[in-house]
Amino acid sequence: MTFLRLAVLSHRTGAVAMALIGASSGLVNALGYVAIAGHTRLERQLFAKEMEIFGQQLTYILPAPLQIDTMGGYLTWRAFGSVAALFAIWGVIAGTGAARGDEERGLTESWLSAGISRLRWMLTRSAGFLVAAALSAGVACAATQIGTMMAGDPTPIGGMALEWLLVLAVALLGFGIGVVVAQFVVTRRVAGTLGTALLLGLYFVNSSTRAGADVGALKWLSPFYLFDRSTPLLDGGTLDVAATLALYAIAAVLVVFAAWGFLARDLGGPLVRRGVERVHATFRPAGDPLLRVPVVATLDQQRWWILGWAVGLGALGFFLTSLVRSMIDTLSAIPQMRIYLQALGIAAYSDFVGVIWFGTALFLLCAMVIVQANSWAADDAEGRLEAILAAGAPRARVVLERIVSLLVAVAIVVALASTAVYVAAGLYDIQVPADRFVLATALTVPVAFAFGAIGQWLAGWRPRVAVIVLGAVAVVSYFIQQFTPLFSWPEWVGRLSLFELYGRPMTTDDWGGIAALIAIGIAGTALALVSMQRRDVGT
Each residue's pLDDT tens digit, 142-174: 999 999 998 888 999 999 999 999 999 999 999
Q: What percent of the chain shows pLDDT beyond 70?
A: 86
DSSP result, 426-460: HHTT----HHHHHHHHHTHHHHHHHHHHHHHHHHH
Rounded to the nearest 10 degrees, the angle between the axes of helix 157-182 and helix 241-264 is 30
For position 66, what pLDDT does the model report?
A: 81
For position 257, what pLDDT does the model report?
A: 95
The domain segmentation of the chain, as residue ranges, is 1-34+82-271
Terminal CA-CA length for the chain: 26
For position 277, what pLDDT does the model report?
A: 47
pTM recorded for the entire structure: 0.77
42-56, 65-79, 457-471: which is most confident? 65-79
Kindly report, residue by residue over 264-302, the tens digit of the pLDDT: 888 888 888 765 445 566 666 666 666 667 788 888 888
For position 348, what pLDDT does the model report?
A: 62
**Poorest-confidence range of 186-190, 278-282, 321-325?**
278-282
Instruction: Answer whether residue 218 shows pLDDT above 50.
Output: yes
Say how far apart CA 349 and CA 288 lie, in whole Å. Answer: 47
Q: List the helix and strand counts (H, then E) for the chain.
A: 25, 0
Query: For all residues of the chain together, what is the average pLDDT?
Result: 83
User: Among 248, 244, 93, which residue's Cα sits nearest to residue 179?
Assistant: 93
Rounded to the nearest 10 degrees, the angle between the axes of helix 2-9 and helix 118-150 is 50
Between 120 and 321, the more confident residue is 120
**Poorest-confidence range of 67-81, 114-128, 180-194, 331-345?**
331-345
For residues 200-226, average pLDDT: 77
How many CB atoms sit inside 10 A of residue 311's CB? Answer: 14
For residues 485-502, average pLDDT: 80
Kindly report, residue by residue over 61-82, the tens digit of the pLDDT: 667 778 888 898 888 888 888 8
